[in-house]
Structure 1
């Protein structure tokens, strides 16, 4: 279907806003997103509705929604059936954005390896020179890291100079998890926790009560507790524990790091603690993964 550049911009903006908000989008919000006059949006919406690319919703919460035909018109039909692929800018996930296609355009020229990245989301959130990371991709668990060198607002694409490409190996977490786990008692004082961290040269440990994992403490938790009272008990400042089964693939651990914004996960077998896997363990296994899901909170 042949659409004008303005119609493509409007449709891309509508889909991006709809995916983010999950509700009908008002014309003025589309206009603001792509810096067009509201009158231009209204006029084009009549054509897009006639082409069955959008539907209008009446009422106070009314607005416009893209139809399935709209996704097809912009070559986004596969997105409705596939998994999301996240994109990160300066180490932080860009909400409402997901990657649809990565086209490596200069493979024969390794010193200028570039890619065209088609996405659903507001492409105007990115500027030339931004450091970005993408991944993991489905099936192959690929991660890309690079720098934005251009932007195509009409086709909703980014041009990225690729600096690194990595793939998470398909191995179980037990293969790289630390087996000698230092644990904390729920009644240990904050000073006892500090001494344990220093003695074993660690930055976090699970809290275990009668062989049951009841929490996790990391270095930053200790600092906050010390300000309050040196006699504060571990059970009073521990955080919830994120766990993973010993036989789950390594990519599952990486996804948990990202989803829960943590750097360590307790490895369990039949609900029993058998190890700890940290973001550092993954880095060591891969030498360098090149993906910063978050700003080095605690490792």
Structure 2
């Protein structure tokens, strides 16, 4: 299958000179996690929820509201784009190799679409995927935080381990999950509601429990990949903790499913 048959053609873009507040409004309005960035309609970058969370949570950006940043100062500039004729498996391999969540699709006239890991997830359905269990695909190395950890610690963990979500575990029990979207919203609300002169000290007082989603969905390691794919598509979740006898034994994400699809395609 050529990647143009999987891509989303409904392109929502933003100009590099618009401010970060404009990007946030578009992300919320269209319920998307990333935006291609243009300059005179030419693709020059891409900006994601994770990029925003990383920027607003950094010490260098302390006390500055989102409206003070231009999109160009937050976006990833080295964008990898591919032609619509590239094979699905090749694009999956490229995304895994480069550690990227989406790829703009271009032709001679410019950008014609975009494909993300979420677009691959529905493909993990059918007889082959019914026979593959979560335990064969999941990541066993789980990066986790506790509810009493500071939010800036959770951000640091996501940055260091290059993950977009971490389970919240207290006394060996899964009690929540925190994602890049949660971080982004928390930092934005903080800057809106806390006076600038108090932000440097008070940012350290925000705890994971103040931001996390409680009672998160989870899956068992015996569940089929096909069933996990359906859950992700229906809920919009990008990753799910894997629980056995009350213990978190792994996590399965869209990246794990993308890796499986790439392997089968090859």
Larger Rg: 1
Q: TM-score scaled by structure 2?
A: 0.46
Higher strand proportion: 1
**Which structure: greater helix fraction?**
2
